[in-house]
Amino acid sequence: MGVLELMKSNTWIFLVSIMLLNKSSANITFPDDGMQLHYTHVMFRWDQEPDATNYNLVVFDQSDNTTLNIQTSHTVYIDKNNFEWDKTYHATVTPILDIGLNFEWSDTISFSIGSAFTSADLNTEIMDSASIQDGLVLFSQISPDFSMVIIDNLGNQVWNSEFVYVNHWNQYGQLFGMQNGIGVEVNFYDEIIWETPIGTEIDAHEIKQISNGNYMGIVPEYQSGPIPIGPWTSSYQDLGYIGDGETNEFTWRGTKIVEWDDLSTEEIWSWSPFDHFDMNDYDSLEGRWWSPINGSSYGMVFDWNHVNAFHFDETESAVYISSRNLSRITKVSYPDYNLVWNMGPPNEFGYGDENICTDLLFSCQHHIQKLENDDLLFFDNGKLSEIFLDDSFPTTRIRRVRVIDNAYCETIWEYELPQELYGHSWGSVQLLDNGNYFIYTHGSGYQDGSICTLMEVTPEQELVWSANHTIPFSVWYRGYKIPSIHPGAFSVDIDRYQTIQTDTSTIAGIVVDENNHSLIFTISNHSGYDQPYSYTLNDESGWYPFISDTVFIEAGEDHTISLSPTVLGITSTTIELSVKPNYHRWSRLDLTYNVFHISGVLSQSDEIIIPDLFRLFQNYPNPFNPTTTLKYFIGQDADVKVIIHDLLGNVIRDLFIGKELSGYKSIQWDGMNDNGILVPGGVYLYTIQAGKESRTKKMILLK
C-alpha cells in the first residue's frame, strides 16, 4: 500500500510506529559498520521499510566495482558466491515501492573480510557430483595449528576461526567446544552463548545442549586405585610403588557425565564410572599402564575409562556413553543411573565379563550416536582389531548396529576403511539427509600411513567425494557436513506497514480499519536449517489476545500468523512482539508497535490531523542483572530527560538529558549511579519526560 492521506470525520487517525520516523531509506543492521568478517558467505539484515514491496541491495568493493546488485522481498539476504578473502566492501540498500516516490539510499556501511587459513588448505576430489549432499564441510584442526575451518564441496574456504575449539555441531546449527578450559556454546560469529561454571575442569572431548534444554559434558574426576599386576609392574616398583594389584596408591583418572542447568549452570545430574564400573576392568592390551611412565599428557595418572562421546535420549530416558579405553559402550537409564547394558568385547580380553554384543569386537571407538530409528552409529577405530578380529593390520570400520531386546546386536551397515586410512585416534561419522555417510579419519594409517581425510560414502559404499590435508601429520578432531554458517538467520515482516502523510510530516505505521483489523506478520527462515521458532505477542490494552506459540519452519520457507482482535478500541494500544529460533536465542528479535484503529475504511484523500503521542514501555529484561533497556516513543521532537530514582524519590542516575527527534527510542541502564558505583539490588523507578509529558514505571535490579 502506498503513502496515504487518510481522513474519517470525528475520528482520530492513529499509527503504528516500528523503527524510526521521518525516514526515507532502510538501515543495514548487520554487518555492523567497520566490522571484519571471518567468512565469505555474507548475511545482510536491514530494517523493514513502509510501503516497500522489494529491496535493492548493492555492494561495491574497494575499487568501486559492483560486487552485488540484487532485489529481494525480505529484510535478510545471504550471498554465497561473490565475496572474497582480504577485501573491503561498501553496502547500501533502498526500498522499492509500488508508487512513484523517490526514496534515497541508506547510509553506506563498510566491512572487510579477513584472511583464509593457508595451513588448513585441502585437496578435494569429486567422484560423483550428482550423489553429493549439498552443503559445507566443518572440521576442527588441532595441528599443525589450532584452526576451525569450513570449506565448500570444491574445497574453497568459506569460514574460519581460532576463537574456540569445536567438538560438537548439531542439526540445528549449534556449535559447542572449549575455550581456555571452559566448555562453551558459541555461534558462527565468535560469540559465547553459554559456558560451564567457572572452576569446573572440563574434558575436551564433547559438550552439547541436550533435548531438555540443559547442557551436558564430560568432566574428569580422580580416585586412588591399585597398580595392576602386568609387564609394567616392575617399572612402577622401581619408582617406589608397591605394585601388588591391591594397594590403592596410584591416581586413576576417570571421566564422568555431568548435566548443568541451562540458566543457573548448577550441576543437577552426574554419572561417575567410579560408582558404576569395576576397577578390575581396565586396558591391558593397548598399553595404557605404560603411558604414565612414558610421558603421558596427563602426567603420572592412569587414564582409565576415557569417555569421548555420549548421546542423551530424552524420549527413552537414557544416556549412551562411549568409554574409549575400555572399548565399551554403556547404556544408562536416566535419571536413576541404572545400568541397562555394557556393549564390548568378551571377558577373555579383560574389559568386563557381562558385555552384550561381544561378536562385534570393536575397539577404541569414537562418536557414538543414536539415530532416529534407534540404530547406533559410531566410528570403530579398530586399534585392537588385530587381536580382536585377527585382522592382518589394524583396520578402522564405520559401524551401524541395532540392539535387540537389550541383549544382542544386528549389524545394519558397515564400512571398512582402506589400510592407509586406518585411524588409531580420533574420527567421526555422520548420517546425511540424502542417506550418505560423512566420515572423518585421522588417517594415521598402517606403518607409514596417510593424512587427515574426509569422505562421503553412499549406502552402497561408493566414494563420491573426498578431501585430505596438504600437510602430513596434521591432526583434526571431528568433521561435519553442515547446511549453512547462518543458522540464526530469519526475518519478520509486518503486513500493511505504510507511510501516512500529515500536514507537517510523513510518518511510518500501520492503521487498523474496519475491513482490515487483523495483525498479520510473517516469519521467514533463511538459515538453511529446519528450525522451530517461538513467538509471543502481548497487547497491553487487550485488543488482541496474549499468545505464546511455537511453529516449525523448514529451511527456506515462510510461516504467516494472522491474529484477530477480541475487541477494537478507537484509540491506541501497544503491542510487543518477540520472535526467536528456539536453538539460537541470541538471534531473538524484540519489536514494539503502537497499534491504532480507525472507524470506517481508509480513503485516499482529505487532510488528516494526528495528535502528539508519548508512550513509555516496560524495561527488558525485568528483573535484570546488571543491564536493562528502557524503551519509549515520542510523537514529536522534544527536550527529553531519562531519570532513575529510588522508591523515596532520590535521584540515582540522570541517564539522558537532551534534545531528541520524534520516534521510537531506547537506552540502557547498567545499574550504576551518577558516581559510577553499582547500586544495591531492589525496586527502582524510571521516569521519561518529553516536553511537558512524563511517564514512570518500576523495575527490579537483582543481586
Cβ neighbors of 189 (< 8 A, separation 6 or more) are none
At 57-99, the pLDDT tens digits run: 999 999 989 999 999 999 999 999 999 999 999 999 988 886 5
The conformation of residue 105, written as its DSSP 8-state character, comes to P
**C-alpha–C-alpha distance, residues 290 and 288, integer Å:** 5
Per-residue model confidence (pLDDT) at position 507: 60
Average pLDDT over residues 329-354: 94
pLDDT reading at 1 higher than 60? no
The SS3 assignment for 241 reads coil
Backbone angles phi, psi at 604, to 5 degrees: -100, 10
pLDDT higher than 60, residue 610: no
Q: Report the C-alpha gap between 118 and 545 in whole angstroms.
A: 56
Q: Confidence band (pLDDT; 50, 70, 90) for 8?
A: very low
Residue 511 has pLDDT above 80, yes or no: no
Task: Judge whether 161 and 497 are in contact, CB under 8 Å.
Answer: no
State mean pLDDT over 152-180.
Answer: 96
Please determine, for residue 607, whether its predicted confidence score (pLDDT) is greater than 60.
no
Q: How confident is the model at residue 119 (pLDDT cuts 50, 70, 90)?
A: confident
**Nearest Cα to Cα of residue 182 among 138, 221, 219:** 219
Which string of b and e fits 276-295 if b means at least 16 CB within 10 Å?
ebebebbbbebebbebbeee
Residue 100 scores a pLDDT above 90: no
Q: What is the bridge-based pairing of β-strands 175-179 and 182-186? A: antiparallel
Residue pair 669/700 in contact by the 8 Å Cβ criterion: no
Distance CA 263, CA 268 (A): 12
243, 227 Cβ separation under 8 angstroms:
yes
Q: Is the confidence at residue 125, as pLDDT, over 60?
A: yes
Alpha carbon of 457 to those of 88, 367, 416, 511: distances in Å?
Answer: 39, 17, 11, 56
Name which residue leads in pLDDT, 279 or 97.
279
Least confident of 371-375, 437-441, 664-668: 664-668
Around Cβ 101, how many Cβ atoms within 10 Å?
A: 13
Which one has a higher pLDDT value, 155 or 297? 155
Q: What is the pLDDT of residues 424-434, one digit of tens each?
A: 889 999 999 99
Distances (CA, A) of 171 to 82, 521, 552: 27, 27, 14
Instruction: Please state, in angstroms and rounded to a whole number, the distance separating the CA atoms of residues 416 and 430.
Output: 15
Of the candidates 381, 296, 282, which has an alpha carbon nearest to the alpha carbon of residue 325? 282
**Which set of grid coordinates corresponds to residue 406?**
537389550
Q: Longest Cα pair distance anywhere in the chain, in angstroms?
A: 103
Neighbours of 530 (CB within 10 A): 16
Q: Which amino acid is at 162?
A: E
* pLDDT in the model for residue 456: 98
Higher pLDDT residue, 499 or 68? 68
Contacts of 223 (CB under 8 A, 6+ apart): 251, 252, 254, 274
Place of cell 563420491: 464
Helix, strand, coil percentages in the chain from 3-state DSSP, rounded to 5: 5, 45, 50
